[in-house]
Chains A and B, each alone.
Chain A
């Protein structure tokens, strides 16, 4: 991950700072981690690949300054794999600048936005300000040549700019949690599910809609009662095993030995794999084992197993890695994993 960049202001904001503005204005920090393309030609300022791209990008998106003072902070280019290390970087940057801004916009690679929202929902505890994730569906020619071809039907070139404006408007709203702006919908960050077929869509719990303005459904807006803190530690030394016919207990034990946890998942059509769970629990006594994908009746399971339900596989895995990084013992781990995750 690249070193964090200094906060960059647009020329317009510098002018404002010199005293032209008379009214106190909301301020929003934009954190860049891919998904920033506003023109697929990929010229300077069309996307943020390096810290020095932020200023020309903000200059091209000066419309956002009508809503709030916007500043940029570079997390990473977001062109390759994005994971917990990058999301922990986002959480730490938000913590570092928390007092200075009214809201935060995470400009994020679109393909992994639902996993990012899940991770940040866990890492940012006691939020009193909005943290809004948004990503452009446009790709530069260079990105397309690398196989990134996600296309949103009906979306027009200028729609990417409109998404960023929507995100800034949500970031100055009364919502105080991790949110995702996708098309005309504002989703809550936890429990999102993405599909790519027949077209890229997100499903999940809706906090608001965008038609001619931002409409948040008031009953779900809440302020945290706890002080804000980040919980960005996570554990990656975990064996991930997906059951396939023929897999043996010994093979799984071999993979899990020396690790800090085991994430064992079953496909809906391969529930027979649940039969090996008691033996696994017995052979790997003391090792946290999370089980994902149990759908049917499988008889009595050992109580030491952590059965994760009502989540996507990605969300369950992130939740497990994060909880392992937080918990000092099995009891705390169980509490973090199985307690309601509405934050």
Chain B
């Protein structure tokens, strides 16, 4: 799946931080993510690249989804949004809470099709907004890359059990443990209630 992330060039540090947070979420997925915010920002599969070269169809039309940060005024934003609507591609249009993007001077949100999701975000919540969008379009749980190292001492019986569960499978013992923790998190009502409370306080 191919996704294009567009954010207008800016000198605003707060916006750059949001751009960075958005890219962090996107880069944690196995999507082909292209963006204008990096020098070498075009990443597409060899198949799509060959197809566009052969047919002469713009890369834009081969994207499966768009994420646009449209807080500031920029002509490219309107251009991409027009394409996203015409091509019926799932699109997340982000802008800072408290601002009115210029594009909405010419188009009310009610006129936008269901494929375009507009979200006024708080900087602290932008990662979650992007993650939720990705889940909605891929039906795929966006897995974060495990970054925290943790040393755990276990008993012989536990070790024997882990071996029993992962022997002749493609999983490592660490994978098995991570999946079990995720399963526990999903089933833990107290944890989910805590998460909901924390999200509502940041919005």
Binding site for B on A (CB under 8 A): 12, 16, 20-23, 25, 61-67, 152-156, 158-159, 161-162, 165-166, 169, 172, 182-185, 201, 210-214
Known: A158-B88, A162-B83. Contact between A211 and B58, CB under 8 A?
yes
Q: Which residues of B contact A (CB under 8 A)?
A: 4, 6, 34, 36, 42, 51-52, 54-61, 75-76, 78-83, 85-88, 102-103, 105-107, 111
Known A66-B106, A66-B107, A213-B79; contact A162-B61, beta-carbon cutoff 8 A? yes
Beta-carbon contact of A155 and B57 below 8 Å:
yes
> Are B55 and A166 in contact (CB-based, < 8 A)?
no
A selection of 22 A-B contacts at a CB cut-off of 8 Å is A23-B102, A25-B106, A63-B82, A66-B106, A67-B79, A152-B55, A154-B57, A158-B88, A161-B87, A165-B79, A165-B86, A169-B75, A182-B56, A183-B58, A184-B57, A184-B59, A185-B56, A211-B59, A212-B6, A212-B34, A212-B42, A213-B36
14 further interface pairs, Cβ-Cβ under 8 Å (given A64-B82, A184-B52): A12-B111, A23-B102, A63-B81, A65-B107, A66-B81, A153-B54, A158-B61, A158-B87, A158-B88, A159-B57, A166-B58, A201-B56, A211-B60, A212-B42
Distance in Å from the Cβ of B26 to the closest Cβ of chain A?
Answer: 15
A66 touches B82 (CB 8 A): yes
- Measured between beta carbons, the chain A residues less than 8 angstroms from B57 are 154-156, 159, 183-184
Q: How distant is the Cα of A62 from the Cα of B108 in the complex, in angstroms?
A: 12
Measured between beta carbons, the chain A residues less than 8 angstroms from B88 are 158
Task: Give the CA-CA distance A161 to B86 in the complex, in Å.
Answer: 6
Question: Contacts of A169 on B, CB cut-off 8 Å?
Answer: 75, 79, 82
* Interchain residue pairs A-B with the least CB separation, the first 10: A154-B55, A183-B56, A63-B82, A184-B58, A161-B86, A66-B78, A210-B58, A66-B82, A63-B85, A211-B59
Count A-B contacts at CB 8 Å: 100
A147–B113 Cα distance when bound, in Å, is 36
Are the CB atoms of B86 and A65 closer together than 8 Å?
no
The answer to whether B55 and A153 touch across the interface, beta carbons within 8 angstroms, is yes
What residues on A are CB-neighbors of B106 within 8 Å? 16, 21, 25, 65-66
Minimal Cβ-Cβ distance residue in A for B59: A211
**Complex Cα–Cα for A16 and B34 (A):** 34
Q: Looking across the interface, which residue of chain B has its beta carbon closest to that of A13? A: B106
Query: Do B56 and A67 touch across chains, with their CB atoms under 8 A apart?
Result: no
Task: Report the minimal beta-carbon distance from B70 to chain A, rounded to whole angstroms.
Answer: 11
Contacts of A63 in B (CB 8 A): 81-83, 85-86
Residues of B within 8 A of A210 (CB): 58, 60
A181 to B43, CA, bound (A): 25
Nearest-CB distance from B62 to chain A (Å)?
A: 10
Q: Which of B36, B78, B105, B107 interacts with A212 by CB under 8 Å?
A: B36
Alpha-carbon distance A66/B102, docked complex (angstroms): 10
Chain B residue nearest to A211 (CB atoms) is B59
By a CB distance below 8 angstroms, the chain A residues around B87 are 158, 161-162
Residues of chain B within 8 A of A201, CB atoms compared? 56
CA distance A69 to B107 in the complex (A): 12
Contacts of A12 in B (CB 8 A): 107, 111
Task: Please name all residues of chain B whose beta carbon is closer than 8 Å to the beta carbon of A214 when the two chains form the complex.
Answer: 79
Question: A66: which B residues are within 8 A, CB to CB?
Answer: 78-79, 81-82, 85, 103, 106-107
Shortest CB-to-CB span from A179 to chain B, Å, is 16
> Which chain B positions have C-beta within 8 A of A62?
111
B71 CB to nearest chain A CB (Å): 16
Are A67 and B82 neighbours in the complex by a CB distance under 8 Å?
yes
| Bound: A284/B30 CA distance, A | 74
Whole-angstrom distance between the alpha carbons of A94 and B145 in the complex? 57
Say how far A52's CB is from chain B's closest CB, in angstroms.
23
B-side contacts of A61, CB under 8 Å: 86
For residue A234, give the distance in angstroms from its CB to the closest CB of chain B: 32
Please name the residue on chain B nearest to A156 by beta carbon. Answer: B61
Whether A212 lies near B55 (C-beta < 8 A) is no
B-side contacts of A153, CB under 8 Å? 54-55
Quote the shortest CB–CB distance from B105 to chain A (angstroms): 5
Residue of A with least CB distance to B35: A212
Most chain A beta carbons < 10 A, residue from B75, B80, B81, B106? B106
Bound state CA distance, A66 and B73, in angstroms?
13
Minimal Cβ-Cβ distance residue in A for B76: A213
A64 to chain B: closest CB distance in Å? 6
Which of A22, A165, A185, A211 has a CB less than 8 Å from the CB of B105?
Answer: A22
A202 to B, closest residue via Cβ? B56
Q: Could you tell me the distance between the alpha carbons of A190 and B107 in the complex, rounded to whole angstroms?
A: 37
Chain A residues whose CB sits within 8 angstroms of the CB of B85 once the complex forms: 63, 66
Which residues of B sit under 8 angstroms from A184, Cβ to Cβ?
A: 52, 56-59
B49 CB to nearest A CB, Å: 11
Q: B41 — nearest CB in chain A belongs to which residue?
A: A212
B115 shortest CB reach to chain A, Å: 12
